[in-house]
Amino acid sequence: MPPYVLALKERIAYLPPEQVARVLRAYEVGAQAHEGQARKSGEPYITHPVAVAGILAELGLDAETIIAAILHDTLEDTALSRAELAGEFGETVADLVDGVTKLDKMRFSSRQEADAESFRKMLLAMARDLRVILIKLADRLHNMRTLGAKDAASRRRIARETLEIYAPIAQRLGMNKFKAELQDLGFRALHPDRYRVISERIRAALGNRREAMGKIEAALSSRLAGEHLASRVLGRIKSPWSIYSKMRSEHKSFAQLMDVYGFRVVVDTAMSCYVALGAVHSLYKPVDRRFKDFIAIPKANGYQSLHTVLLGPFGAPIEVQIRTAEMDSVAERGVAAHWAYKTDSGPANSAQARAREWLSSLADSQANTASSSEFIENVKIDLFPDEVYLFTPRGDILSLPRNATALDFAYAVHTDVGDHAVAARVDKKLLPLRTRLESGQLVEIITAPSAVPNPAWLESVVTGKARTAIRQYLKHLQHEDAVDFGHRMLDRALDAQGSSLDAIPVAVLDRFLEAAKLKRLEELLADIALGNRMPDVVAGQLLAARGKQKGGAAPAQHAVEKIRITGAERGVLSFGNCCHPLPGDEIIGYLSTGKGIVVHRIECPNVVELRKSPERCVAIEWDRDVQGDYRAELRIEVINRPGVLATVAAAIAAANSNIENVEYVERDSAAATLLFALEVKNRKHLADVIRRVRRTGVVSGAYRYPL
């Protein structure tokens, strides 16, 4: 038996003998399957999966996880089939291996897409069984430890992926020991020179401070013993990656970051943590506002500890973390803590419970996200290291990423609450949904059945769940609007040629859809509205297919009514920023590929150019009853004197118009020209705003811009 297998056998001694025999059988099957395969370093390939199994054995995981780790590359890289795997080791092991196995890259158009789809599959397998990600993280950790055999480009790509995705996932699952090693190995591979310089400086700084560290540690131990507390005091050393990332994000020098002494105090009970806190506060004076209680309110990944900062005897702050041995184990190992002793009926530790909650929200998110890449972006958004802790009216605690808004909170409560949210009560004060929240606030969401998401909401959220739900609603809305508008456009085009959609036989329509590789008529209509197909061209093709269009002769021309718009078709319509059309203006539509119809005023300077593509121009007009606010720009020439801006703004507000933006276009000692961006109901409303502005007595000219 090779030495690496003997080492694994020693590590799995905590398992019952029959399970140890199953693990050794898995090694035999894996070694046979990988026979003849070698790693880039020249070692037999089987050494890698055995090493991965060894890393998981150090965490005390169950036999099925160890077996799946040994066999995790067999489905992808060997002739061994899933059925053979399930037959020998059971369905659970086969599911675990299948969850870790990457997808066949030949199905995808790019490496990035293959990686995104593979990662998405892994996350969904995680949602079914947490052990999948434990195997994947151990696999990545061993690959990072042996990265030297790869070429430089591969090393950089793998290191970047590790820092961006795998280390944050380890952190999200509370596995801080894995996270720290993945980060430092990734940093060393991505920036070897920076890693070397920082590592050398850390070693030098520790050498200079060893005596001071010893004195503080002895003082802490003595003070805790005086309180009859059984405790361990350990000095903490910052890692190269944490130093480097803080230097970049907090713009601090190496000396500033290293000028801190870090200690961890481990006691026997949660109550002892608070006694120990009092003891260290009586030894050294605490720094105001630097105390955090993560025991009462654990972090999103289950982490629990008391954090405090003290003013030490050597002129440098002392950071102290106080926790129990159980909390220390969960802080280091997260979801993997005490795995072997946890039965299905027994309670999971807090890290496992919180991880399952997060993974079930990921499963919901992916079900509503069509693109793998978009799903990965949403996952990255959710891997925030900093959180805010908020209270619901019932006293439940929700953790959200830093900078989360009341709208994020609404979607965290439930998708329906988010979709119908109108405002928030934060600590009993009524505030808008875009309000950023801070830890400790009590948040209540006010809803209305008529409220629905709008595109501006995407700029007010930071969580993946909220972003996915809003996009899903808008896509559904856009599709409905596009189908309705496309129907009207195709009917108009057919009417111009003396026909209608109802006159096209179903068989002709089905043949046309099949040739165009479209499943339903709705897809064709949406394509027309979004500018991907020209209605006149589609109408001509349908009539030709029907066999009624006269060869070579011009189609019969009919006077066709313009398509009426209400402005509510926001999924299909957009309004030109060059001319800002308003209800009441004469307008024209231009079909822009992928965007739908862009509405312009007839007098817009760009219309001359647009008319050069007549097939893309759409005859439209405003409906009689148009609701909503529309952007308009007003150019105002004023006498330059104190208070003039406030006078003009008051006149605009008096006309019930909202100011979005204002800027000075020209300015000298006597006069100034201001450009206001406003929200108005229609052309008449804008005329009323202009009248009120002209009456102020400080304005020499006010007119719509552009004219």
Confidence of residue 391 (pLDDT cuts 50, 70, 90): confident
- Inform me whether the pLDDT recorded for 222 exceeds 90: yes
Give the 3-state secondary structure of residue 353: helix
> Is 386-462 in the same CATH topology as 194-339?
no
- Inform me whether the pLDDT recorded for 439 exceeds 80: no
Alpha-carbon distance of 21 to 484, in angstroms, equals 66
CB-CB contact of 689 with 650 (8 Å): no
Confidence of residue 73 (pLDDT cuts 50, 70, 90): confident
Confidence of residue 364 (pLDDT cuts 50, 70, 90): low
Alpha-carbon distance of 137 to 66, in angstroms, equals 13
Confidence of residue 370 (pLDDT cuts 50, 70, 90): low
* Three-state SS sequence of 379-446: HHHHCCCCEEEEECCCCCEEEEECCCEHHHHHHHHCHHHHHCEEEEEECCEEECCCCECCCCCEEEEE
**Which class is domain 3-190?**
mainly alpha
- Inform me whether the pLDDT recorded for 116 exceeds 70: no
Alpha-carbon distance of 421 to 435, in angstroms, equals 13
**pLDDT at position 98, please?**
83
The angle that helices 176-190 and 131-145 make with each other, rounded to 10 degrees, is 40
The residue ranking higher by pLDDT, 339 or 455, is 455
What number is the average pLDDT over the span 109-135?
68
Largest Cα–Cα separation, the chain: 105
**pLDDT at position 369, please?**
65
Confidence of residue 550 (pLDDT cuts 50, 70, 90): very low
pLDDT tens, position by position, 638-691: 988 888 899 999 999 999 998 888 988 887 888 889 999 999 999 999 999 999
DSSP state of 150: S
Query: Of all helices (H) and strands (E), which one includes residue 117?
Result: helix 111-128
Closest residue by Cα to residue 482 from 521, 437, 443, 540: 521
Alpha-carbon distance of 202 to 604, in angstroms, equals 65
CB-CB contact of 576 with 609 (8 Å): no
- Inform me whether the pLDDT recorded for 385 exceeds 50: no
Q: How long, in residues, is the chain?
A: 707
Query: Which structure tokens are listed for 656?
Result: 């019930």
CB-CB contact of 602 with 702 (8 Å): no
The residue ranking higher by pLDDT, 193 or 375, is 193
**pLDDT at position 471, please?**
82
**pLDDT at position 393, please?**
86
Q: Does the 386-462 domain belong in CATH 3.40.50.10260? A: no
Q: In the predicted model, what is the mean pLDDT of the chain? A: 84
What is the radius of gyration, based on Cα positions, of the chain? 33
**pLDDT at position 106, please?**
36
pLDDT tens, position by position, 392-422: 888 777 878 878 999 999 999 999 999 999 9
- Inform me whether the pLDDT recorded for 699 exceeds 50: yes
Fold of 630-704: Alpha-Beta Plaits (3.30.70)
**pLDDT at position 290, please?**
84
Number of other CB atoms surrounding residue 7 within 10 Å: 13
**pLDDT at position 344, please?**
44
* Predicted model pTM: 0.58
Alpha-carbon distance of 639 to 487, in angstroms, equals 53
For 160, phi then psi, to 5°, come to -65, -45
Query: Of all helices (H) and strands (E), which one includes residue 266?
Result: strand 261-267
Alpha-carbon distance of 378 to 362, in angstroms, equals 9
Alpha-carbon distance of 686 to 207, in angstroms, equals 73
**Cα distances (Å, whole numbers) of residue 108 to 117, 164, 252, 253, 376:** 9, 22, 43, 45, 16
**pLDDT at position 303, please?**
83
Confidence of residue 341 (pLDDT cuts 50, 70, 90): very low
Alpha-carbon distance of 657 to 636, in angstroms, equals 15
**pLDDT at position 670, please?**
85
Give the Cα-Cα-Cα angle 681, 686, 690 (nearest 5 degrees): 155
Least confident segment among 113-122, 351-360, 573-582: 113-122
pLDDT tens, position by position, 561-619: 788 888 777 668 888 888 999 999 999 999 888 778 899 999 999 999 999 988 888 88
Alpha-carbon distance of 258 to 460, in angstroms, equals 37
What number is the average pLDDT over the span 517-524?
88
Least confident segment among 145-149, 279-283, 473-477: 473-477
- Point out the residues that are catalytic: 76-77
pLDDT tens, position by position, 260-300: 788 999 999 999 999 999 999 999 999 888 898 988 888 77
**pLDDT at position 117, please?**
67
Q: What residues contact residue 414 under an 8 Å CB cut-off, 6+ apart?
A: none
Strand locations in 534-629 (E): 563-565, 573-575, 587-592, 596-601, 617-618, 620-622
**Which class is domain 194-339?**
alpha beta
Q: Any idea where the domains of the chain sit in the sequence?
A: 3-190, 194-339, 386-462, 471-622, 630-704
- Inform me whether the pLDDT recorded for 382 exceeds 70: no
What number is the average pLDDT over the span 192-199?
91
- Inform me whether the pLDDT recorded for 181 exceeds 60: yes
What number is the average pLDDT over the span 104-112?
49
What number is the average pLDDT over the span 55-72?
90
